[in-house]
Every structure is written in structure tokens, then in C-alpha cells.
Amino acid sequence: MSSNKSIKMSEDEINRALAKAEKEAEKKDHKKIWMDKMMKSAKTYYKACPYYDKKTSKCFLDLSNKCNREGKYENCPVFLGFLDNKYQEFTSKKKILPLDFLDLAQSI
């Protein structure tokens, strides 16, 4: 009987772990979809990265480093990190995520 119980418990644990993993995956998907949407939206407004200072090559999102991508922000880890942080910020405050990059940029 006690061994049955322990099996049952481990099943529950597995189910819980699976449910948690699914939820995490859903969250990840949601984040990715939103980040892709923001990237697409940004590209309709900006050919070069909006945080790139052409004169000094500085990156306004990471002032300690210069941009070595000449403002090409697609797949830029700094830019993606910025979107990732924004996603965390909005979702942790339970705020509605912007659907347009300009709304996001203004929320800094």
C-alpha cells in the first residue's frame, strides 16, 4: 500500500512537472511571438537601429559598448535583450503588451 502511494505521488510529481514545463513553453512561445512582432514593427519604422548613434557608433541601450553592427539590429543580442526585458517588465506588472514598436519605445 505504501509503495502504491509513493508511485502515485511520483506520478503526481511527474504530472506537475509536465504541466509546469508546458506552461513555461507556452510562456516562451508567447514571448517569442511578441518579440518577433516587435522586431517586424520596428523594421517598418527604422532601417537602422533606433538606438544606434551613427556619429559615435554608440549604442544607447548599452552605453558601455559601441555598436559593432553598424546599426543592423536584426538578431542583435542587445536589441533582443531589450525586448526580452520589456516583455518581463510588462508581464510582471500585468500590463498590456504594446503591439506597435513606437508604443514600446515611448514606454522606456
Alpha helices in 1-108 (DSSP H): 2-45, 77-92, 101-106
**3-state helix/strand/coil string of 12-42:** HHHHHHHHHHHHHHHHHHHHHHHHHHHHHHH
By C-beta, is 2 or 44 nearer to ligand SF4? 44
Q: How many residues bind ligand SF4 (CB under 6 A)?
A: 13
Nearest distance from C-beta of residue 44 to ligand SF4, angstroms:
16
| Residue tagged 513555461 (cell numbers) | 24
Residue 49 interacts with ligand SF4 (CB under 6 A): yes or no: yes
- Could you list the residues that contact ligand SF4 (CB under 6 A)? 49, 51-52, 59, 61-62, 67, 69, 71, 73, 76, 78-79
